[in-house]
Amino acid sequence: MSICFIVGHGKSKNGGYDSGAVCKDYHEFRIAKEIARYAQIYYNSTYTEKCELMNYEGDKYLTERISAVNNAGYDFVAEFHLNAGGGTGTECYHHIGGAEGEKYAAKISAAISETLGIKNRGAKTKTGSEGRDYFAIIRETKPTAVLIETAFIDTADVELINTPDGQKKCGEAIAKAVAKVRNAQLKAAAENEKIYRVQVGAFKNYDNALALLDKLKFIGFKDAFIKWE
Ligand SMILES: [Zn+2]
């Protein structure tokens, strides 16, 4: 089981640079990639489940990101974006009629809103042609997928995610929200559940192994046993 955080934009259809939305010196791609990276680092250092990061270098166009997702067999993917067009707050898109996706979208949106102190615009769907999902990363991919509009690039929102500190806070909030829905196991908890075994001998001869087992049982080790490879 593994999941993937994907950076939106970065590479255009013809292979050039796709900045995504731009406002002043801010590029959607440049901010989104750092939030996604912080989210991935937090997820991998906190939970046992593996989280990959896709398109950090802007090396994959949308269709390439979609095929990479479908080839990898992830259980869940989230694509990171910034909103534009004037407004404030955070929102997260999920599959039309996808109850599973809605759970992620609602938790992610609420977590960003709480962490950054911006409006929670909530879990949403967007319908494109023929009543299908508008966003290809949601429509064309096999695992549950969401598209996160972390905050607006063209309003005061952007000041909250334009520093490493803000990007880290936002990324960690997203990672925690995803982990909550997935019931991801904490690394520390997994460590506590480890079983340590003590070996007392290794023999080429079965009778010698048996002799030691008898001895151990005789002196009181009830769950001593022979294992072979
Ligand atoms: Zn975008």
Same domain for 134 and 73, yes or no, is yes
Say how many Å lie between the CA of residue 10 and the centre of ligand 1: 10
Rounded Cα gap, residues 57 and 28, in angstroms = 14
Same domain for 116 and 225, yes or no, is no
Exposure of 213 in the CB half-sphere (CA atoms within 13 A): 13
Same domain for 147 and 206, yes or no, is no
- Contact (Cβ atoms closer than 8 angstroms) between residue 66 and residue 134: no
Q: How far is CA 162 from CA 65, 83, 126, 149, 212, in A?
A: 25, 14, 27, 15, 66
Say how many Å lie between the CA of residue 204 and the centre of ligand 1: 63
Same domain for 19 and 127, yes or no, is yes
Q: How confident is the model at residue 189, as a pLDDT?
A: 78
Say how many Å lie between the CA of residue 97 and the centre of ligand 1: 22
Q: How many domains does the chain have?
A: 2
Looking up residue 142, the CATH number of its domain turns out to be 3.40.630.40
Say how many Å lie between the CA of residue 30 and the centre of ligand 1: 11
Same domain for 162 and 201, yes or no, is no
Which residues of the chain are modeled with pLDDT < 70? none
Exposure of 67 in the CB half-sphere (CA atoms within 13 A): 4
Same domain for 184 and 202, yes or no, is no
Which amino acid makes up residue 36? A
Rounded Cα gap, residues 60 and 98, in angstroms = 26
Say how many Å lie between the CA of residue 221 and the centre of ligand 1: 63
Q: How confident is the model at residue 141, as a pLDDT?
A: 97
Say how many Å lie between the CA of residue 208 and the centre of ligand 1: 68
Say how many Å lie between the CA of residue 99 and the centre of ligand 1: 23
Q: How confident is the model at residue 196, as a pLDDT?
A: 79
DSSP state of 150: E
Element (H, E) at 106: helix 99-116
Domain of 159 in residue numbering reads as 2-188
- The three-state secondary structure class of 10 is strand
Say how many Å lie between the CA of residue 207 and the centre of ligand 1: 69
Tell me the pLDDT tens digit for each residue of 189-226: 777 777 778 889 899 999 999 999 999 999 999 888 88
What is the four-CA torsion angle of 208, 214, 219, 222, rounded to 10 degrees? Answer: 120
- The three-state secondary structure class of 24 is coil
Same domain for 56 and 6, yes or no, is yes
Same domain for 9 and 72, yes or no, is yes
Same domain for 116 and 167, yes or no, is yes
Same domain for 227 and 138, yes or no, is no
Same domain for 117 and 213, yes or no, is no
Say how many Å lie between the CA of residue 101 and the centre of ligand 1: 19
Say how many Å lie between the CA of residue 7 and the centre of ligand 1: 9
- Residue 142 falls in which region: left (phi positive, over 0), alpha (psi -120 to 50) or beta: alpha
Rounded Cα gap, residues 26 and 159, in angstroms = 10
Q: How far is CA 153 from CA 14, 26, 57, 177, in A?
A: 25, 7, 20, 22
> Distance from CA of residue 4 to its chain's centroid?
5
Say how many Å lie between the CA of residue 44 and the centre of ligand 1: 25
Same domain for 38 and 122, yes or no, is yes
Say how many Å lie between the CA of residue 158 and the centre of ligand 1: 14
Which amino acid makes up residue 31? I
Say how many Å lie between the CA of residue 18 and the centre of ligand 1: 10
